[in-house]
Amino acid sequence: MTDYEAVVYDLDGTLVRLAVDWGTVEREVGERLREAGLDPGAYDMWEMLDAAEDAGIGASVHDLIADHERAGAADSERLPGADELASLDVPAAVCSLNAEDACRSALDRHGLLDSFRVVAGRDTTPARKPDPRALTWVLDELGVAPADALFVGDSPSDEVTAQRAGVAFQWA
């Protein structure tokens, strides 16, 4: 990691594991979509949020998901990837699909919040991963060029985000 000017981390599954029952979240979001006349079976979890936004109920669905994430942050588990933060000699940041306040809460719970110059959730950046604007927004806040940064994540979506943004990627 010493070859980079900054390291950006995904949150859930990389630094901590939020105690969220995503099946329940998906069912509840699906109920909101059905109430809006949409078929939730046509979408994956994050596409459901897109569909909710298109149907004019995005804020309500975001709040529903964020409520689960905040509760899950309170009972989150610290993952081994968080231990490498102490050895970093470059700025660190978070770029997550979770709500920013849930990210901050989970990081604070585990004494990690002060390790990050930027903490960005889906409600902070101009787009959600895998759109590269999520990651490039974080890098702009750090003042670091994409070619000089590393993104650490745990999902194919994280890897695609890094590739689209021109950022090196490492699996957590």
Catalytic amino acids? 10
What is each CA distance from 150 to 110, 166, 171, in whole angstroms?
23, 10, 11
Q: Are 42 and 126 in contact (CB under 8 A)?
A: no
Q: How far apart are CA 80 and CA 63, in angstroms?
A: 29
């585990």: which residue's tokens? 110
Task: Name the residue among 62, 70, 75, 63 with its Cα closest to residue 19.
Answer: 75
Helix (H) or strand (E) holding 169: strand 168-171
Q: What are phi and psi of 126, to 5 degrees?
A: -75, -5
Q: Which amino acid is at 56?
A: G
